Amino acid sequence: DISGSFSDNYRLNNYISIGSNLIPQIDNRRSLFNKSHLVSTNNLWSLNKNFDITSQISYLNNRTENNSQSETQYFLIDGTVTSVADEHGNEKQNQLLANITLKSNTSNHYIENKLSTDIRWDNLNNGISGTYPNNQMAKLPYRKVSDNIEVIKRFGKKIYTFYSYNMYQQKPQHLTVERTANIQQQNVSSSAFFTHTHTSLAFIFKPITISMKVGIIGTFRDMKSNLS
């Protein structure tokens, strides 16, 4: 695999997350409450006898809440230490997916161009009161746009092909932690551009086919972090 670690499935890392202190003895199905909504549409348009356009668009909205109370006692030689925590967390997820494809398939050519986008904006909040009160808030948006085009054209005994997949991702992340009068913030911004493009020309000399191919595969990445 000449692409090595590069692939069409390349994803940016998650540098910020908020964990809830859920009670391990209770199943998540009995400690999480959510409301989900999904809207989806699919369409097909025929431009002419050779070209068609299809579209798939969906929107997902999901809200999850959790509540827990705990009291922990540490029995020491010189006494007992008690820790109390009352936690309330919620997560709001929104995702918009869209795919638009142009396709043409005839006896002498094949053309397909697929434009895709994935947009998410997630907000997480987790508040704890008790012995060690603190409040955590995270904003985790994500944006991805990709275009995939493939062309196969035949000229007599010659076949020309062109393939190009280009993808751009952006994931800015923000975390705020409040503890009494102390406020800490973490900002991480990451982005990546991936390209896999190649073209080839083949000559048919039955029963032999000779082809030449040239292309490029690369990923350009950037990450910045700031803590205040």
Among candidate residues 84, 62, 89, 63, the one with its CA nearest the CA of residue 73: 84
Mean pLDDT, the chain, whole residue set: 88
* pLDDT value, residue 180: 80
* pLDDT of 197 strictly over 80: yes
Encoded tokens for 169: 């991702």
Model confidence over 75-102: pLDDT tens digits?
999 999 999 988 888 889 999 999 999 9
Contacts of 155 (CB under 8 A, 6+ apart): none
**How far apart are the C-alpha atoms of 72 and 130, rounded to whole Å?**
12
Give the mean pLDDT of 124-151: 92
- Please report how many Cα atoms fall inside a 13 Å half-sphere around the Cα of residue 190, on the Cβ side: 16
Backbone dihedral angles phi then psi of residue 28, each to the nearest 5 degrees? -60, -30
Residue 27 has pLDDT above 80, yes or no: no
How sure is the predictor about 22, in pLDDT bands with cuts at 50, 70 and 90?
Answer: low
Tell me what the mean pLDDT of segment 38-60 comes to: 93
Cβ 184 vs Cβ 168: under 8 Å: no
Task: Give the span between the Cα atoms of 59 and 40, in whole angstroms.
Answer: 6
Name every residue whose Cβ is closer than 8 Å to that of residue 211 and which is 6 or more positions away in sequence.
Answer: 159, 200, 201, 202, 203
Query: Whole-model pTM?
Result: 0.79
